[in-house]
Structure 1
Amino acid sequence: MAAADVVPKQAQDSHQLVESLSELPTADLVRFTLQKPDVARVFASSLHLLAVEAASRPLPDTSGSQLARGHVDILARLIERGDPSLARKFVPTQGSLLDLAAAAPKESTSAVASILERLLDATGVKEIVNGLSSQFAGIVSTEDQPDVNAFSSVVRTLARLSTAFLLVCPRRLLKANLGPLQTWVRACAQIYDKTLPQAARKLAGDATSNLSETDLSNLSAQSWQLHWLTCRVDLLQLVSALLDSLVGSFKLVDALRESLADTDKLLNKGGYSTLLNSTVLLDLAATSDSWPSLRSELLTNVSRKKGQGNETMASIDTLATSVPKFTGAAWDALHRFVTSQTPEPARTAARSVRNFAGSVSEEVLASVDSILPHYGMERLRVILSRPSFAGQSAEMVIQRLLEGDEGEAEASTSASLPQQAEAAPRSAPRQEPVSLRPPSASSPSVAPPSLVKSRANLFGDFAFDPATIVQPKLVSSGRVDELAPELKAAILARAEAADDDEAEEEWNPFAQGHPTVGVEDELDLDYEGRERSSAPRRAAHDDEELEEDDEGAATSNEEQARMRERMLLRHYVQHGSGSFSADASTRRSDARQRLKEQTGWSDDLIESWAVMLDRNPKKDRLLAAASQSELDEQLASRDSHNASDVDDDGAQSSRRFGPDRGRGFKATDQSIKQRMF
């Protein structure tokens, strides 16, 4: 039970983290991503959970897909900045791109198409198309078919994922994969015309008759008829999307040749119903808006085969023009089921959670948590939701918490319990293990009764708390006591942290080098590092002086190169890779002119440096070091400015209230003069 609750909790936390990232400015988002690489992994996990939810439901959920707006917005902003490689880290695999297409809402289709235009290439599209096509081909083969009870759900999920990808995939890349698309259409048509009717007969327990209209009277979320019908609908949409990609190619008729033959037999036999026991061509003619173009394409290719299939196409066209679309018992049953559905309790609860979370400023909450992380996000939400904290800044909240003021605890105790149960924190709260140790002073708890009745001594007025007494441990698990979880986590974090030597490697231009001391100079230092007083050394020879001059010049050149490298990296972090392009407008820009003046390089050298940076495997670490260095300099300048203001105030006060400014000194001076004269 506990493990089942952890997964939704982690999913909710990952979704809220992505929502918070979508609210950041683009520059802060890039800096945060470079400093915290795990953010990309959480992003991909959240996107995958949304895609699974969208593809596995019997009916498409438009409200749930709105959560993916933040994912699409983050990727679009990173790509517009001119660095698609950073956006590729958020969707590192081909499966992540499929998740993006499946989870994105309909109004974001154009944005997702623009993202895939920048992140996909011909090789990636070929891998995705071949992979999805092989999945459907495996379902057609009898040895790879899934269980009959899960057959409809598996096919529906694959069809929904495939349709979402085809709608946003660049057309020029799909046109290069006509062969796999033809195989894909043939497999889908065979599943629609033959495999699904066989599965319906097995599920109904009747090997002779197909699914009838009377079986659709009472559809429910648990009935296999609902999953079977929704599978037919999603598979029909997939076939329509695939045929749109094959329009203009002779492979279209080859892919539908078997379906044309099955349709001809069914028309001669008669007695079929739309979406129940018809073929894919008949249902496309009765539902798809692209049927006129598809019909003309089929007629053109069929006429080349000496009139074979012309009668079949004429019959299908007659039915498509005479019968209204989306009519029949199956469509009516699906329409009744959709209209009878009510909002789920889980969806209502999640909406109330988001409304509650919106009442607390996320910016203030994040700032306070970064300074006082021991409180935990859940407890900070409860504290900030109290009326006394309304409208206060992060500095005021931190000051009150440091003073021990957590607001009206006695007035909000009853209200905080349901809020803690319903509120969804942005980060998973720490699960404290059950311990026999006394509770901390910060957590409200009932103190045990005191064993001391009275203390008539010097410290009688001292507020004695028996809970602070260190009690002996009752149970020892071994020879050595186990470490506390916090201490263990701190030790592991310290062990995994980067060594100082790593930051001082030659590839990092922002590393602070330590001064080196030679052997002879080291002998002249005492134990405290001070220079000993010794006799002056004799002058060095001319050749040695020349060598020292050469070494000094080399050191100066190396320092200039490192300074130039720092300028270029900071410019890359601030303006992106687009400022290093070779087009004429970029070369004439003010930013390029300033960069040329600072570095002394030409346009070719600057653009070549950007190319080499993209090939550098340590690119992300260099950009992270540049952003961190810029942040440190800003903090240092702010601290120095504050210190200078304090010094100026002290100097003014000393001049205002110094000994020369008092009236008593003047009076004394005048009295002395009177006595002398």
Structure 2
Amino acid sequence: MTSLPPFAPFPAASLRAELVPTEWAACLDAWIALAEAHLSLSDAQVSSITAKDESSTSFLVAFMRETALGGPNILGSSEQARTLFKDAFLLTSRLLRSNPPPIPLVQWDFLADLSKAYGKKRAAPLVASLPKPAESLLDSSLTGLKKFLIKNLDAGLSGNIKEVEERLSRVNPLIHTSPHVASFFLAGDDFVDGLISCYKIMNPPLRRVIITTTYLCLVGLIEGESPKYSLLTDQLYSLKNAANTHKTGPLNANDSLVAELVTSTPLLQQVEHKLEMSGTSTSRARTVLKDLAAFRKVGGMSRPKKLIRRKVDKGKEVAPSGHAMVQQELHVHRMSQITQVQDLFPELGSGFVSRLLDEYNDDTEQVIAHLLDGSLPPHLHDADRSEQLARPETSHKTSHLAPRNTPPQLPNRRTVFDDEPDGDLANLTLGTSRLHIGKRSPKRTADDILADRSAAPAKAAILSALAAFDSDDDERDDTYDADDVGGAVDRTNDEDVGGTTEETLYRAWQTDKTVFARDAETRRGAGRRALRDQTGMTDEAVEGWAIMLDRDPGRLKKLDARYGDWKGPRQQRELLGTAWRAGEDESGTGESGNETGTSSRGGGRGRGRGRGGRGGGGPGRGGGNVAGPTGDKDTEAARRRKEASKGSRANHNRRDQRAKKMARGGFAG
């Protein structure tokens, strides 16, 4: 056999919706026949015929993508659909083991779609048994993905956040399936640092996918044939240091990746269990686990209940059946638990997860732990993992003309102005036991009221109210968040930053400005570490100080004047005189060209305004002898200047004022 007919492309959702059932059944039959024909070939023929057939590769890529997006149910519920689903997996297995395998099938996106469509149970052995050439091609594709993620995670809001969320969501099933992929992402600190930095962005969907990625990567280190406990302990220490740094910063201590990770996932329990089972639990590992447990938020793994807007029943809805009514009354907390499990295991159906929760008494931690260990009971281990919750079935419509019980009639209301009282009201009597004189209860003081705990809210009600608070609510105003304004906010001023701290920052700025750079490598450097130890400030505060210094040149001049190096009297080349000199003009500058001080007399002008005696008011007076200088010529000049400027200051020229009064018709006193 030299060749086989090509595969017809697998259609997208929009094209599948246009196919009638008979056409779709014909497509399934054609694909099954062709897939089984390729499966009947020998290994050598698969390498020479199937692996080189681009139509088979294109069909499998599109098939895995569409199945991962919509689930196996997109094929239908017929026997043909189940057969094609099985044959596609077998054909992919044969092609991945061929030498060499088709390049599109060893890319991270195809294997991620395969892991999501078929689940960890089937995909994990296949990915783990990849030959060396296929594993090398997979690592090459993962390298490009990791570089893209690190670059955009570090960029924060400046990066492509939407694309980061989509790629992390797509690669998570592959990380969950393959411990090799998990250890590949955790090699080095750049990827984890990027996740921690990007988690500060107030984007709930992005935050959820970051938590899932971090959890799957860390748990992947302790799975497989050769767990990497040393690398796991190093990563846990990095998370602890990041949590401590966030705790001392300006943001909320509970609003960090580490706090959410140890609260909403069973990471610490899984790691502790694996270490004890392997016998490699050391004091170093136990210490870091204990330190991370201290960051757990109050309320455990329970998620806040979300309010659901229920539609008002106007009597026109379709009447549900008995089974549908039971499904409609499913508590919202159960739906929250199902969503929590599906965040970590997206291939599981909601119906299967609901059965797991029933098996383990709604304990989400136990469900996740047994799924990770593969220790489910036989009746659940072999069950359909893509099972969905049954939707309510409609049988008939409720008619508004259906007979109903007559509602009780309200009593007639009468007032004192009615002519005749109602008979029932006339016979109404009031028991004497309800009558009292004065206040019913004795006088209670404020201490008595506070001591009475009967009306106090229960502890469970308080915890429930706290759990209902959603810190990621969209109405929260994050306009001025430190990570949303494009740079760190300067939260320090002259009162907050002491003289020693400010001088230390200034000396570091003068020595090496690169120590204030805003990148992960600088933050881990020895210079930044020494600066944090000396000042006690976080990385965000140090970088914010440098940013504000660049924006305010006047502040830099003040720091130069305050902490700059002064070389002694030789540096001061000119000494200005402050004594008064004869012959000064009205501008305050004498013949010598020196500026006059505040002690100048007569017509010398200063900066302030003083109030002296009768002749001492007005601007520029220093409070000296108003007679002026001792020389006769200078004395007369000073007096003339004084008399000339009297009229512009206060009301001292009384003769002119009296003349004006008489001119207006006044009489002498």
The TM-score by the shorter chain falls in which range?
0.3 to 0.5
Give the TM-score taking structure 1 as reference length.
0.33
The structure that has the greater radius of gyration is 2
**Bigger share in helix:** 1
Give the TM-score taking structure 2 as reference length.
0.33
